[in-house]
Amino acid sequence: MPLQNRVTPEGTIERNSSRGTFMGNRGVLHDADKALKRQFKTKAWITCLLEFKGRKRELMTPKAYTELFFLDEVTAFAAGHRPCAECRRARYNEFRNAWMIANQWDGSSAIRAPEIDEVLHKERLGDDQKVTWKGPLAELPHGAMFLSEGRSYAVCDGKVLKWSFSGYGPADFEKLPKNVDVLTPRSVVNVLAGGFRPEFHPTAGA
């Protein structure tokens, strides 16, 4: 049985045998038997590379952070994660700079990771439930994700694609509602609207 470590666009962590293209974590979520006990332990929800400096890890080592896996960066953003400032430093800097511009950060210096995490935490969870917000589908930028009738979708270069753990498939734009429940946090949608392009799984171009 696969471990419970695959993240959906809704931010839930489920069991699935499909492989992801990114790793990440939210702190120590599992017990000594590798069973998930919580959905998060920290406000720092990050997205990491699958490989970094040759480091080797046993999945769900006792008392170590729980390795989570995402289909792609688009999924991770929808779930409320941001790029890791260590293994993805250049990407984190790019995202941080775009975030400050898109969200009109008025601090006297560059925003720090914990400050972004605080904003994202408020935008992604309310009473431990995923926060969504209503938005016009036609106005969602490239890389934004939304829900419709219990299914997750992504906007990709003007098209709408249906999400699954193994990749994306076609969707009929005309059959979707004009206003949808947006999964991607508001501040991240602002970043995407400013031209920041998240990494899609290769199936998005199929």
**Count of CB atoms within 10 A of residue 58's CB?**
9
Helix H segments across the chain? 73-79, 89-102, 113-124, 186-193
Q: How confident is the model at residue 19 (pLDDT cuts 50, 70, 90)?
A: confident
Q: Which two tokens stand for residue 206?
A: 């199929």
Upper half-sphere CA count for residue 39 (Cβ side, 13 Å): 17
The pLDDT mean for the chain works out to 94
Q: How confident is the model at residue 127 (pLDDT cuts 50, 70, 90)?
A: low
How much is the pTM? Answer: 0.95
CA distance 143 to 157: 8
Tell me which of 40-54, 100-114, 135-149, 165-179 is least confident: 100-114
134, 143 contact by CB (below 8 A): no
C-alpha dist (Å) from residue 12 to 8, 80, 91, 149: 5, 11, 24, 17
CA distance 25 to 46: 6
Q: Give, to the nearest 10 degrees, the angle between helix 186-193 and helix 113-124.
A: 110
What pLDDT, on the 0 to 100 scale, is given for residue 57? Answer: 82
DSSP bridge partners of 70: 22
What pLDDT, on the 0 to 100 scale, is given for residue 125? Answer: 83
What is the residue whose two structure tokens read 């999945």? 59
What pLDDT, on the 0 to 100 scale, is given for residue 206? Answer: 72
What pLDDT, on the 0 to 100 scale, is given for residue 53? Answer: 82
